[in-house]
Amino acid sequence: MSVREDLKILLVKEKMTITELAREAEAISGKKYTVHGISQKLVNSSMKYDEMKFLARVLGYDIKFEKINLL
């Protein structure tokens, strides 16, 4: 799955729009977040890991890595 798909799934689960996400992210961080900025990063696959981690936290999620057994 891509970052774009993951973020869209979280938005649907939380019944939130990108507009609301941008507003919340801006309120929490004090930095400027726009719908256009978030959307462009998703479309261009240019969102940094730290940004995705922060947006996930805004939505109430934490990104975790789990060890898997390949055998």
Q: How far is CA 10 from CA 14, 21, 30, 36, 70, in A?
A: 6, 11, 22, 18, 28
Amino acid 65: pLDDT: 92
Q: Is 39 within a domain?
A: yes
DSSP 8-state code for residue 30: S
Q: pLDDT means per 10 residues in the chain (71 residues)?
A: 93 97 96 96 95 97 93 81
Structural domain harbouring 18: 3-57
Q: Is 64 within a domain?
A: no
Q: Is 66 within a domain?
A: no
Amino acid 71: pLDDT: 81
DSSP 8-state code for residue 23: H
Q: Is 68 within a domain?
A: no
Amino acid 1: pLDDT: 80
Q: Is 9 within a domain?
A: yes
When divided into structural domains, the chain yields a total of 1
Q: Which positions ≥6 away from 29 have C-beta within 8 Å?
A: 54
pTM above the 0.85 mark?
yes
Residue pair 63/56 in contact (Cβ under 8 Å)? The answer is yes
